[in-house]
Structure 1
Amino acid sequence: IVLGSGPIRIGQGVEFDYSTVHAVMTIKEAGYEAIIINNNPETVSTDYTTSDKLYFEPLCVEDVMNIIELEKPDGVIASLGGQTAINLAQPLMERGVKIIGTDCEAIDKAENRDSFEKVLESLGIPQPKGCAVTNIEDGVKAAAEIGYPVLVRPSFVLGGRAMQIVSKEEDLRHYLKTAVEIDEDKPVLVDKYIKGKEVEVDAICDGQNVFVPGIMELVERTGVHSGDSMSVYPPYSISDKVKGTILTYSKQLGLGIGIIGLFNIQFIVDEDDNVFIIEVNPRSSRTVPFLSKATGYSLADIATNVILGKTLKEQGIFTIYPDESKRWYVKAPAFSFAKLRGMDAYLSPEMKSTGEAIGYDDKLHRAMYKALVASGVKLQNYGTVLVTLADEDKEEALPLIKRFYDIGFNIEGTIGSAEFLKEHGVRTKIRHKLSEGSHEVLDSIRAGYVSYLINTRAILSGVHYEDGVAIRRCAIENNVSTFTSLDTVRVLLDVLEEITISVDTI
């Protein structure tokens, strides 16, 4: 029996269904009867031609147990249906069900904070400083010891739900009081926020060896959920030394945790090429379909064979890391902000995208162009760029805004940003904000001549005020491409410069 991933919601989309379907094909080829339990009509796995038997039942312990008692399967696979299926593994095992693949002990080692830290300590692998707290005062004390800014989140979640970067005590108290239930059973994790590149691998472990088909580098730095980031394979800016470290850690973690099948690891690489572990997911992740298509290795099929007892070597895989592809593959997220009322378009550690698109080409910028267009971003190389920046981003944004100016865009900005740009030689028109009692900014957006809105908010200066929310909302209602991360803007500029013929006076 393969457990599916249940109804599609933000954070758990059809990417998890891909693994389920491929697993079923492989199980059938191995000569077993394949049964799916999934309750989502909008997927391939619930198409009646996919599996030998389909049970359209809720993925709750009671319903799944009823099916298991009737079917008496040889084994149940829980690691291919995302977090929904993984959460069923423990209660099913307690009721005597045989879980094949990654077992409950390994799942606990990866997902339980204390067990995971012990594994990392024994392997000597660094992770950001942090701890789990069970009440508000402990949380405040822990954050003071670790040092702000900190990343706070409930444990055992998918899609970074209720995860936030907090930079001072009053915000932390506010978060712990309002955003999460905090008690003995539901600890909240408080971690040091490290600024750096985010890198991700999907890997397969068979108990003796580990296979990493590809390393993906995310365009947006840490602090944007990996499901909302643009992701590039092969990695474009990390050194071979870092790749070596990542592969070593991947192998140690796969074997150390006791994974059988697929797992996913997210890393941070800081400025000095130190590699830290963010987390290990003991299941198939949302990047499996992308990486399978980009590398040519069908991860879900290889992993299912491993779960059924066929080692990597028996499948003809002898190396940990195959040669990287000569072409570039870029995954870009697609958003539905226009359809989701009241959702803020700011990218944060909480996942908000509802789909993804892939672009590939021999040249990186062209692959990025294809991915952006495919994911629904309107790419225009003319018009006006509206800029409203947090103070700590101004220095970094300056060269980017100059590049827009050089392509031929007009620049408009809210008062702080516009004055900063003017001082540094960029002609900028000032637009007043709502908090100054003016509708100029919104009028600009509504007038239809703004091509891009670049809006960043401060991590260091606390919770942003309502201006940003109103401006982003207005941009989305008027179909203006909005960027809240300067890393994405950098990619956009690379693409625009590639497709624009520049003009200089002689």
Structure 2
Amino acid sequence: MFQKILIANRGEIALRVLRACKELGIQTVVVHSTADADAMHVRLADESVCIGPPPSRDSYLNIHQIVAACEITGADAVHPGYGFLSENAKFADILAAHNITFIGPSGDHIRIMGDKIEAKRTAKRLGIPVVPGSDGAVTEEKEAGRIAAEIGYPVIIKASAGGGGRGMKVAHTEADLEIALQTARSEAGAAFGDDAVYIEKYLEKPRHIEVQVFGDGFGGGVHFGERDCSLQRRHQKVWEEANSPALNAEERSRIGGICAKAIADLGYSGAGTIEFLYENGEFYFIEMNTRLQVEHPVTEAITGIDLVHEQIRVASGGGLSVKQEDIKFTGHAIECRINAEDPRTFTPSPGTITHFHTPGGLGIRVDSGVYSGYKIPPYYDSLIGKLIVHGRNRVECMMRLRRALDEFVVDGIKTTLPLFRDLVGNADIANGDYDIHWLEKYLAQSE
């Protein structure tokens, strides 16, 4: 097991990883920018190192400063959390060259899954169902037209190196295709420095289902069930739940088994999430995230297994603590992402939190790194906390969530709490009857 882990992140995920390290008896080091000097994870860590000014490129994305912090403090491993350098293959390679363990998969696996075209090819080879579409990058309008005609309109054009909804355009007819292709390539080049795009069948009313997987580093793999992340705004997840209200036990077992076998065949090590669009009983691979997900707590709630503990165990060479037959799913869990944003316009709302009170009681968990008097800096992601609620079934979970939202108090800034109070009382949400377009339609109708 590791002696000292450096946590290369900030906010609630840095605190989440820090807690896991303390439970395992591992010394902790956190890095921080000057803007985060008073952050909770900095206060609670065994050691902290300031690595630069507020801009991420000068601090949390500064690989050389983070490696130097490891060498100064004697850290023998780095946990990247999510975002920042968590899916940066170069970072993983550099750490390996310095004999520092990256708590995550190999740089090669990060590279494969970071290229959306190569990821789709790999998924297909591993037996994971994929969305019909091009086998590689599409550059010519004529080729795009041929592929679109084969798979049928509507089609979606996506950036190969993309994410977060950038470089994505839908063409409903042949007449739409030329401008959609040009616009997607232009956006992809501007956002990612790579204008390669590919074409897929556009599903009209899919759900977003993702499967939590783990590879043990020795050719074995398991799955920890699925999460439903269909409630999204601009391709950003807002509300996640496990298990999905859209799947039955047979579907859950089938797709989980496919993913666990694939991750074993790939020789993958650590946590990963295989994401799908699901429509009419069929799953279609869209991407794999080679890191811990923001929404991992709902999986922990229904399995009782600490996924960060598992990450650390696997990275240290100890393999997984459980076999597939040991993993049981109990009850239902929902996570709401609490952002420092206007609940209607979603404009960021940095500032000082004057009062902060979290809900409690059975089945309630709040992951947050903020506190009363904390000043939210304007430089980073607006996520300030996650409310995770677990119940014996979905009905109990929803009732508990309603109560928890009523208890949650954040004063001094605007947050998305009012949005969740609206959603928890909505009939479609109560019935689990929603798809990836539902939330944006709901917000448009509420204006």
TM-score by length of 2: 0.68
Q: CA–CA distance in 2 between the matches of 1:137 and 1:22?
A: 52
Letter in 1 for 2:318: K
| Counterpart residue number, 2:14 | 17
Matched, 1:119 2:119: no
Q: Is the 8 A contact 1:331 1:371 kept in 2?
A: no
Q: CA–CA distance in 1 between the matches of 2:123 and 2:284?
A: 11
| Counterpart residue number, 2:373 | none
Q: CA–CA distance in 1 between the matches of 2:424 and 2:208?
A: 29
Letter in 2 for 1:368: M
- The 1:23/1:164 distance shift into structure 2, 3 A limit, reads farther
Deviations 1:371-393 (A, max 9, x none): 356243455999xx9xxxxxxxx
> What's the RMSD between the two structures over aligned residues?
4.1
Unaligned runs of 5+ residues in structure 1 are 7-13, 344-350, 386-398, 404-452, 458-467, 476-506
- The 1:219/1:76 distance shift into structure 2, 3 A limit, reads closer
Give % identity. 16
- The 1:19/1:49 distance shift into structure 2, 3 A limit, reads closer
Q: CA–CA distance in 2 between the matches of 1:73 and 1:262?
A: 21
- The 1:64/1:330 distance shift into structure 2, 3 A limit, reads closer
Q: CA–CA distance in 1 between the matches of 2:241 and 2:153?
A: 30
The alpha carbon displacement at 1:94 in A equals 4.9
Q: CA–CA distance in 1 between the matches of 2:159 and 2:277?
A: 20
| Counterpart residue number, 2:25 | 29
The alpha carbon displacement at 1:103 in A equals 0.9
Greater Rg by CA: 1
The alpha carbon displacement at 1:267 in A equals 2.3
Q: Which piece of structure 1 moves more, 171-180 or 188-197?
A: 171-180
> 1:251 aligns to what SS in structure 2?
helix
Matched, 1:456 2:432: no
Deviations 1:115-174 (A, max 9, x none): 323432332222112345364737844545543323333344454445444423255146
Unaligned runs of 5+ residues in structure 2 are 53-58, 349-380, 406-416, 432-437
| Counterpart residue number, 1:130 | 133
Matched, 1:49 2:53: no
Matched, 1:104 2:107: yes
Letter in 2 for 1:201: V
- The 1:15/1:69 distance shift into structure 2, 3 A limit, reads closer
> For this pair of structures, how many residues does the alignment match?
370
Matched, 1:213 2:229: no
| Counterpart residue number, 1:250 | 259
Deviations 1:414-467 (A, max 9, x none): xxxxxxxxxxxxxxxxxxxxxxxxxxxxxxxxxxxxxxx99839xxxxxxxxxx
Mapping for residues 23-422 of structure 1, pairs under 5 Å: 23-25=20-22, 29=25, 33-39=27-33, 41=36, 46-57=41-52, 58-59=59-60, 60-71=62-73, 73-77=75-79, 80-91=80-91, 93-94=93-94, 96-98=97-99, 99-100=101-102, 101-131=104-134, 132-133=136-137, 135=139, 137=141, 140-141=144-145, 142-167=147-172, 168-169=176-177, 172-173=180-181, 175-176=183-184, 179-181=187-189, 185-194=194-203, 195-207=205-217, 208-218=219-229, 220=231, 225=235, 227-228=237-238, 230-271=239-280, 273-312=281-320, 315=321, 317-320=322-325, 322-325=327-330, 327-334=331-338, 336-338=341-343, 340=345, 356-371=386-401, 374=405, 375-377=417-419, 378-379=421-422
The alpha carbon displacement at 1:284 in A equals 0.5
| Counterpart residue number, 2:359 | none
Q: Is the 8 A contact 1:16 1:81 kept in 2?
A: yes
> 1:34 aligns to what SS in structure 2?
strand
Q: CA–CA distance in 1 between the matches of 2:32 and 2:261?
A: 33
Deviations 1:402-424 (A, max 9, x none): x9xxxxxxxxxxxxxxxxxxxxx
The alpha carbon displacement at 1:219 in A equals 5.3
